[in-house]
Amino acid sequence: MSGTRRRFFRDAAFFGAGFLGLSEALRGETQVSDPQAARAIEQGRHHSPYGNHKKKEAPTSGPDPFLPMVTPDVADLPHEMDGGVKVFKLVAEPVKRKIAPFKTIDAWGYNGSCPGPTIQVQQGDRVRIVFENKLPEATSIHWHGLEVPIEQDGVPWISQKPIAPGEKYVYEFTVHQEGTFFYHSHGAMQEMMGMIGFFVAHPERSYKPRADHDFGMILQEWAVLPNNSVPNTAAMEFNWLTFNGVSAPAITPMIARLGSRVRLRIVNMGMDHHPIHLHGNQFVVTGTEGGRAPESTWYPMNTVLVGVAQARVVEFEAKYPGSWMVHCHLPHHMMNSMMDLLKDRAIETANTNDAKALSQMETLAKSVPFEHVHHSPIAANANAVPGFPQDAFMEMGMDDAVAKPETHGLPPNWSAGMMGMMTLIRVLPDREYEEMTQRIKNTRTSEQKERSHAS
């Protein structure tokens, strides 16, 4: 038994049982090789608001196959099997995250990613997360929404000792729920440095109706001063808003087939609440951070408020072709920080003529790695109108800088209309959908080849 393992058992015993007064029978049972036995041990320890709905008769067949969720711009965390246990390796570490073509921040995340890689399991799975702390300070992981034994809850000093820099720690539990959960550091400042990732538990028996596409989005806010790369985690005002760690227009659009049913899982890990709006369609909320909602509670809407620490799962029938916006509707969350381009300069748009402002913009544009596309037309007397300009100088077209297979075929200067928490769900008819998925596959394959050549 390694030192880490020994320490784990000692701590689990101290915090999980002795400290909290749990019965002897539960102590030290967190690591078992037989998932069935583990499940039996944990049964009866969880209470659901709907009653003891998890007590089910012996399964006659295995769990239904499930459709994995896609997290745009974030990878899945792979796992290995140890007997019947799914084993994941998660490393907390500093991460450089390019949130816009001209802005890279020093965030903290997991396995080189911020947000951390997506963990996908199935209801009933026994899961082990071998965790390593490569941060310069102590941390722990909380499994948000999951009903796990107290010694797995990841709260420093309450349910475990903080995990010191360089230390490993093993979490292990049975996932008896289904739904959209997430993992995060239980330190408030670390949360605001980006330490969160999806933990999706697919149901043992498929949801009805079945979805054909399943996408996940994590909402985050950042306060990063111009010429700076480190987020100010004490700030209450945010100048960068991201989906899955990227700001529009750099966010990868979602691709769906016309006529399909689309599921969108949205998780908020920030300081603000975000009303997430879908254009051109109505959706229903089919789940929360607590799991699937009964169909009798579904009603049509197109804007769902995702509060801090909440998850909202929405579904809709993609029956209209087009590139439909999915965005936060808070006006200040539909912007990027222009200040990063201006640095210590100011554009004198409010009290000067268009020509001067334009020449300033062009000078600025030369200093950043994309071409500034001419802004939308303005009236000849624009400067005589009180309040001008509002959006006239906001838009920054950067189609080439953010081009990827998923943006293929969008109209020229599409990127000028997108900033902040904003992305597209592109609903494509069969043939275009097939072409698009092939294009994506080809690009990813050649990227993989390039990577393996380089390493």
Between residues 77 and 196, which has the closer beta carbon with respect to Cu ion? 196
Cis ω for the linkage preceding 209 (within 30 of 0)? yes
Residue ranges in 12-71 that form contacts with Cu ion under rule CB under 5 A? none
Question: Taking the complex as a whole, how short is the minimal distance between the CB of residue 344 and Cu ion, in angstroms?
Answer: 28
Q: How far is the CB of 418 from Cu ion (least distance, A)?
A: 14
The minimum distance between CB 378 and Cu ion, in angstroms, equals 28
What are 446's two structure tokens? 């050649």
Stretch that binds Cu ion, among 26-34, 141-149, 286-294, 329-337 (CB under 5 A): 329-337
Between 135 and 418, CB nearer to Cu ion: 418
Contact set for Cu ion, span 259-278 (CB under 5 A)? 274
Task: Choose the binding region for Cu ion from 27-35, 86-94, 135-143, 330-338 (rule: CB under 5 A).
Answer: 330-338
CB 222 to Cu ion: min, Å: 13
For Cu ion, the closer CB: 248 or 256: 248
Residue 237's φ and ψ, nearest 5 degrees, are: -120, 135
Nearer to Cu ion, 114 or 328 (CB): 328
Q: Is 225 in the site for Cu ion (CB under 5 A)?
A: no
For Cu ion, the binding residue among 333, 372, 375, 426 (CB under 5 A) is 333
341: region left, alpha or beta (phi > 0 left; psi from -120 to 50 alpha): alpha
Provide, rounded to whole angstroms, the least separation between the CB of residue 274 and Cu ion: 3
Window contacting Cu ion (CB under 5 A); options: 64-72, 79-87, 153-161, 328-336: 328-336
- Nearer residue to Cu ion within complex by CB, 198 or 240: 240
CB of 334 to Cu ion, least distance (A): 8
Q: Please report how close the Cβ of residue 306 comes to Cu ion at its closest, in angstroms.
A: 9
Q: How far is the CB of 308 from Cu ion (least distance, A)?
A: 11
Q: How far is the CB of 268 from Cu ion (least distance, A)?
A: 9
Given the rule CB under 5 A, which of 20-28, 153-161, 333-341, 405-413 is the region that contacts Cu ion? Answer: 333-341
If the CB atoms of residues 176 and 274 are measured against Cu ion, the closer one turns out to be 274
Tell me which stretch binds Cu ion (CB under 5 A): 133-141, 150-158, 252-260, 325-333.
325-333
Name every residue whose Cβ is closer than 8 Å to that of residue 116 and which is 6 or more positions away in sequence.
Answer: 74, 77, 90, 109, 110, 183, 195, 196, 197
327 binds Cu ion (CB under 5 A): no
Residue whose CB is less far from Cu ion, 294 or 331? 331
Distance CA 148, CA 310 (A): 18
Site for Cu ion (CB under 5 A): how many residues? Answer: 4
Up-side HSE of residue 339: CA atoms within 13 Å toward CB? 11
What is the closest distance, in whole angstroms, from the C-beta atom of residue 270 to Cu ion in the complex? 8
Residue closer to Cu ion by CB (options 219, 255) is 219
**Residue with Cβ nearer Cu ion (66 or 243):** 243
According to DSSP, the β-strands at 103-110 and 141-144 are unpaired
Answer yes or no whether residue 328 interacts with Cu ion by CB under 5 A: yes
Asked if residue 330 binds Cu ion (CB under 5 A), the reply is yes
Quick one: 7 or 273, whose CB is closer to Cu ion? Answer: 273
What are the structure tokens assigned to 382, written together?
Answer: 């624009």
Footprint (CB under 5 A) of Cu ion, residues 72-91: none
Q: For Cu ion, which is the closer residue by CB, 128 or 274?
A: 274
User: CA Rg, the chain, in Å?
Assistant: 24
Closest separation in Å from C-beta 309 to Cu ion: 15
- Pairing between strand 261-268 and 213-222? parallel
Residues that bind Cu ion (CB under 5 A): 274, 328, 330, 333
